[in-house]
A and B are shown apart, each in its own frame.
Chain A
Amino acid sequence: MTELALMDNLWVMICAVLVLFMQGGFILLEAGSTRMKNAGHIAGKTIFTVGIASLVYWAVGWGFAYGEGNAFIGLSDFFFGDFATAEEGLVGSVDFFFQLMFAAIALTIAFGGFAERAKLSAYIVFAVLFSAFVYPIVAHWIWGDGWLADLGKQDFAGSTVVHLTGAMAALAATILLKPRLGKYNKDGSANDLAGHNQVYTALGVLILWVGWFGFNAGSTLEVADAFFGYVALNTQLAAAAGAVAALFIAWAMTGKSDVPTMLNGALAGLVAITASCAFVAPWAAVVIGIVGGLIVFFSMKFFDKARIDDPIFALSVHGVAGVWGTVSTGFFATPELAAMNGGTAGLFYGGGLSQLGVQVLSVVACGAFAFIASYVLLLVTKAVCGGLRVSEEEEIVGLDLSEHGSYGYPESMPGSEKTGA
């Protein structure tokens, strides 16, 4: 193995660990955005569903995504165990490890739609089905030998593959699960079921932000020419612009500089730039981040009004911003960067509508597939588990107690002061 290839492998390995660490960001983000009585559950489920995703992706997911097959699905390399070395490029196991982390992230995003009301058994069954039949198919279409890859679709690190796919599953879940108790009044107006710890949420966003350099810059899959630095630059600019834009729009529209909205703005900037980070100029990364930060604010309002309860804002942050990010390369991809990384230049660089068309097509196709497949698989899950949602009483006492038998914050819960004396 050449020294350069070794460095490539080492770089991608480090990035894979950074992406795994993003789960820590999700734990804090989700726990902080939900109520105390569900905190232990929501933190703990992230760990075991990463476990399920790993086992399933190893068994069949990788094979469906990257195995030899047709334009729609891969059909080889199940139960991955390739220990062969390679003279150039990534060895199979490093590649597998990196890709697995993306699959796990998509699953965690999907579970955003489950928050505070889904049964534990539903998490388990759907984790298996999503990791086997939803994420790998979309990954195959765009990153494997699938039909969208053939069309020159640009999705550098997964605005569509990871974020939109996860968000569509979250949408299907939140529609089937229906809103949390107390979220909506009889007249249709929404209540604010505020998360219990904004500090956790902010720290979660920062950890995600750090991990995102593994996600985006690692997606170079090599260290040659240190292009990862450019990708990191665009990533940083979009996240920054997203945070500032969301803070601004929240203040301008409501008079309050809402902290959760600002945090979602940073994430929306990150999600949006994920597709385009290797294709656009830094000024465009700023614009993409700003638009991400602005649309996430309106999207949060929209879902609230539409009576779609999205406790952790997965639909707005990963779905809406994911769509925007994917489509954005159709506008902003520069000819030089497109030549380096695939596809053609965007509309603003004389590329006409062709790349934009491919981007829109991929969003529609992947979004529709992920939604429909998830919806059907959730119905299967519902049948297997005897329902997706915990009982009213269990939801009221909280999933910490009802699903796991102990509270995440035992001292802070009603009745905890009783000593039995």
Chain B
Amino acid sequence: MAGAKSYPTFNDKEWDAELRLLFEERLNTIHKQEHTSASLQESHEQIIKKAVCLALKKTESEWGKPPAHFAFFLMGSGGRLEQSFWSDQDHGLIYESSNEEDASYFLHLGRDIVYALEKAGYDRCDGNVMASSPKWCCSYETWEEQLKYWLREDRWETLRYTLTFVDARSIYGKHELVERLKQATFQFIKTQPRMIKRLTDNTGRLKKGIGLFNQLLVETKGVHKGKFDFKQIVLFPYVNGLRLLAIEQQILSSSTVDRFQQLPNEHDNVKKMKESFERLLEQRVKWQKGIDQYEHIHHLTIENLSKDEQRQLKIWVREGHRLYQTIERLLKG
């Protein structure tokens, strides 16, 4: 980078060597071992944290210590503790400063984190939901304003950004910042009763998974032609439904399983599906083992599933869709 000072403590060569080692470690701990869904999350967490530490070391070697407290958080499947073997990057950063120079520091840190994670095998996010983007790397005050703006703006994209943020989970730094921001957001939503309806609309399109003849529906076009879109059809109705209930109930946890757990007993009809969802996550780990590219991780080859597995998959499709519709009715009145 032009103008950047290079300290002997962590030069580019060392940095790349460390990242290569990290990728090796990723292969060993994630891809060459048997996993449960929980152990898979732990392994990802370790790799991601190490990548963040390395990125911080790199930024510190050039720009010095962080000028303010900050929290680095994951969103998407990482935030929800639902990562598969491969996943892309969805993350952001909050810092306690409104100084412009500090903003540059953290954006730089964000860029180093993106680079490190990419080298560790996490694809860049197509939608640029990453701490290297000014939209996802802001001071606490800016974040608060931005979230209110997103909600008031009430467009499809801005509401989608808000829902993305709700899955935030701090993994490095001052975790409290993320929690405070979430609380403030939940409070703001509470003051505008129609907002929860708008958020419900935002994720209301359920992708059909079962055809008229009780057959599993596969993609008819594109690179995944012939494959079953597991993420959109099976996973998302549960994830999106529980996120909406979490907003309504002001549950700070970002994992879908924890959200199930923390729902009050009045939502018993939803809570009782927790075990089924946990089994779903476990089964997904089995099905997706061996898929070697992020691009293909969310699409299943139906022919590889046994009759029983296909039957179970259909049960989950129906249950998830029913669950989302129940939640939708509940929130939209």
Chain B associates with chain A? yes
Q: Does chain A have a CB within 8 A of B215?
A: yes
Q: Does chain B have a CB within 8 A of A252?
A: yes
Q: Hey, which chain A residues are within 8 Å of B221, CB to CB?
A: 192, 194
Q: Are A255 and B225 in contact (CB under 8 A)?
A: no
**Shortest distance from the beta carbon of B288 to any chain A beta carbon, whole Å:** 20
Q: Does chain B have a CB within 8 A of A404?
A: no
List B179-236 residues whose CB lies under 8 Å from chain A.
208-209, 211-213, 215, 217-218, 220-222, 225-226
**Shortest distance from the beta carbon of B300 to any chain A beta carbon, whole Å:** 15
Q: Are B220 and A252 in contact (CB under 8 A)?
A: no
CB-defined A-B contacts under 8 Å, sample of 19: A189-B226, A190-B225, A191-B225, A192-B220, A192-B222, A194-B221, A251-B212, A252-B211, A253-B211, A253-B213, A253-B215, A254-B211, A254-B217, A254-B218, A254-B220, A255-B209, A255-B211, A256-B220, A258-B220
Q: Determine the residue in chain B with the shortest Cβ distance to A258.
A: B220
List B149-203 residues whose CB lies under 8 Å from chain A.
none
Q: Which of A190, A192, A252, A258 contacts B212 (CB 8 A)?
A: A252
Q: How many residues of B contact A (CB 8 A)?
A: 13
Q: Are A255 and B208 in contact (CB under 8 A)?
A: yes
List B226-285 residues whose CB lies under 8 Å from chain A.
226
Q: Hey, which chain B residues are within 8 Å of A254, CB to CB?
A: 211, 217-218, 220
**Max count, chain B CB within 10 A of own CB: residue among A192, A252, A253, A255:** A255
Q: Hey, which chain A residues are within 8 Å of B225, CB to CB?
A: 189-192
Encode A185-199 as 1/0 by CB contact (under 8 A) with B. 000011110100000
CA distance A254 to B213 in the complex (A): 10
CA distance A258 to B215 in the complex (A): 17
Q: Hey, which chain A residues are within 8 Å of B209, CB to CB?
A: 255
CA distance A258 to B221 in the complex (A): 11
**Max count, chain B CB within 10 A of own CB: residue among A251, A253, A258:** A253
Q: Determine the residue in chain A with the shortest Cβ distance to B209.
A: A255
Q: Determine the residue in chain B with the shortest Cβ distance to A254.
A: B220
CA distance A258 to B217 in the complex (A): 14
CA distance A258 to B212 in the complex (A): 15
List A250-280 residues whose CB lies under 8 Å from chain B.
251-256, 258
**Max count, chain B CB within 10 A of own CB: residue among A189, A194, A252, A254:** A254
Q: Hey, which chain B residues are within 8 Å of A194, CB to CB?
A: 221
Q: Determine the residue in chain A with the shortest Cβ distance to B212.
A: A252
CA distance A258 to B219 in the complex (A): 12
Q: Hey, which chain B residues are within 8 Å of A190, CB to CB?
A: 225
Q: Determine the residue in chain A with the shortest Cβ distance to B221.
A: A192
**Shortest distance from the beta carbon of B153 to any chain A beta carbon, whole Å:** 32
Q: Hey, which chain B residues are within 8 Å of A255, CB to CB?
A: 208-209, 211, 217
CA distance A251 to B212 in the complex (A): 8
CA distance A190 to B211 in the complex (A): 22
Q: Hey, which chain A residues are within 8 Å of B226, CB to CB?
A: 189
Q: Hey, which chain A residues are within 8 Å of B215, CB to CB?
A: 253
Q: Hey, which chain B residues are within 8 Å of A191, CB to CB?
A: 225
CA distance A254 to B216 in the complex (A): 9
6 extra interface residue pairs, beta carbon distance < 8 Å, beyond A192-B220, A194-B221, A255-B217: A192-B225, A252-B213, A253-B212, A253-B215, A254-B211, A254-B220
List A119-170 residues whose CB lies under 8 Å from chain B.
none
Q: Hey, which chain B residues are within 8 Å of A252, CB to CB?
A: 211-213
CA distance A255 to B217 in the complex (A): 6
**Shortest distance from the beta carbon of B214 to any chain A beta carbon, whole Å:** 11
CA distance A141 to B209 in the complex (A): 51
**Shortest distance from the beta carbon of B311 to any chain A beta carbon, whole Å:** 19
Q: Hey, which chain B residues are within 8 Å of A192, CB to CB?
A: 220-222, 225
CA distance A258 to B213 in the complex (A): 17
